[in-house]
Amino acid sequence: MNATRVLLAAPQPGPSGLEDFGHDPLWISIIKSVAIFVFLLLSVMFGVWMERKLISRMQHRYGPNRAGKFGLLQSVADALKMGLKEDLYPRTVDKFLYAIAPIILVVPGFMAFSVIPFGPNVSMFGVVTPLQLTDLPIAVLFVLAMSSVAVYGIVLAGWSSRSPYAMLGGLRSSAQVVSYEIAMGLSFVGVFLFSGTLSTSEIVAKQASGGTWDIAGLSIPMPSWYVVMLIPSFLIYAITMLGETNRVPFDLPEGEGELVGGYQTEYSSSLKFALIQMGEYVNVFVVSAVSITLFFGGWHAPWPISLWEGANTGWWPLLWFFIKLVLVFAAFIWVRASMPRIRYDQLMAFGWKVLIPLNLAWIMLVATVRAFRVEDADRTVLFTIAAVVLVCCLALYFRFDTVLQRRREEKAAETEAEYERLEVEPTAGGFPVPPLDLPHYHGADRKEVSSGIH
């Protein structure tokens, strides 16, 4: 009887769920952990090479082409150089926090990858196990928590350096993460409403087949990937990905134009600097993997490959997941090569005044649609609530539109008054202008006047 219970509780080949976790032997968990660690290390090394190579091609350059074939060993050479260089400590830094900040920055990224599903249940050395280290009923919230912890590394790196530039970079990062993490969390709500779970493996399983929508007595096929149904949620999440990882155009914490190097100004090109760069790229891969898991079907094969019966079985899903990850990372590089850095006030205003209100409005719409699909729901109440929400939104829009129009008119009147004042008194603008009745000089005096000596 006990053997039968163990056999029923053990994972079976096929899609994984929460019930499939917690049965792995210790050595299988160690193999998975080492595999994720090595995968991220190699991803960072070749991600740096890919970014440099792709940006150089966009700018009609060759990029790395000396170390190894196609410059593939350039990242290896850079890693060896930074690992062997002398590790310097500036005189006034807090040595403990200065040393531990890069570790705090990079470790949460590795931990967040533990709940990312790479594939279904497979046979590994005779043991059926999911291609995922672990899963939680609140796995997505765990990823958000790890991204919040990572910002402490940036803040401590800036504070412990005791440099004004590094301090400003750390403060910028904390404010930026707080602002954009709210919008990022709200962009997940639509996925939670449609999937009914916060488990990453079950969210991927929900995207295996979309099912149907029963509208007005008609059965309409529903797309399987949430990026189709929840395109506003994905677009908002795509923007917050750039803000969370401090990438262009939101790389204000390390803006070299005004902060030299930002929070990493006082870190020499040593192992600590290498850890900071690794943390940035690991976080990029984490948010990319989360986008694939929540919006792009996870490890499921895209159409038309999905028409093949064996596409989503065995080890093949690893290939589909890896291809999706490379494409999302290429989009990061494309944005970096195409867009300029924005001002910090524009960054904060966009996060609080645009992304969060749009997210809230979209969540209300998605919740209303989901409520209509609930059986025995009171349609009259739902229509009343939807009408009230629509009227309130229109009222707020016209109210703010009137206020903004009044401000524009006042600003235009002030500008017109300023022009009129300058026409009457040319020196009123604050810049001295020469009088119109200058005396005429001749010979050497004219040269002195033109050179500003007279």
Query: What average pLDDT score do residues 111-132 get?
Result: 92
Query: What average pLDDT score do residues 355-383 get?
Result: 75
Q: What is the pTM of this model?
A: 0.80
210-241 tens-digit pLDDT? 555 555 555 655 568 999 888 989 999 999 99
Q: What local confidence, expressed as pLDDT, does residue 201 receive?
A: 93
| Residue 2 located in a structural domain | no
How far apart are the C-alpha atoms of 414 and 402, rounded to whole Å?
Answer: 18
Domain count, the chain: 2
| Residue 449 located in a structural domain | no
- Same domain for 107 and 145, yes or no, is yes
| Residue 22 located in a structural domain | yes
What does the block give as tokens for 426? 């040319």
Mean pLDDT, the chain, rounded, equals 81
| Residue 208 located in a structural domain | yes
- Same domain for 62 and 185, yes or no, is yes
Torsion over CA: 258, 262, 267, 272 (sign): negative
pLDDT of 178 > 70? The answer is: yes
How far apart are the C-alpha atoms of 381 and 372, rounded to whole Å?
Answer: 11
Query: What average pLDDT score do residues 179-190 get?
Result: 91
| Residue 120 located in a structural domain | yes
Query: Which residue range(s) make up the domain with 394?
Result: 378-418
* DSSP label of 351: I
- Same domain for 274 and 140, yes or no, is yes
| Residue 423 located in a structural domain | no
Q: What local confidence, expressed as pLDDT, does residue 11 receive?
A: 65
- Same domain for 396 and 257, yes or no, is no
- Same domain for 362 and 385, yes or no, is no
Q: Which among 122-126, 320-324, 398-402 has the top mean pLDDT?
A: 320-324
What does the block give as tokens for 231? 């395109």
What does the block give as tokens for 352? 């609080």
- Same domain for 260 and 389, yes or no, is no
Q: What local confidence, expressed as pLDDT, does residue 162 receive?
A: 85
- Same domain for 302 and 154, yes or no, is yes
What does the block give as tokens for 51? 């970014």
- Same domain for 397 and 273, yes or no, is no
- Same domain for 401 and 266, yes or no, is no
| Residue 114 located in a structural domain | yes
- Same domain for 249 and 117, yes or no, is yes
| Residue 174 located in a structural domain | yes
Confidence of residue 199 (pLDDT cuts 50, 70, 90): very high
- Same domain for 185 and 310, yes or no, is yes
- Same domain for 270 and 393, yes or no, is no
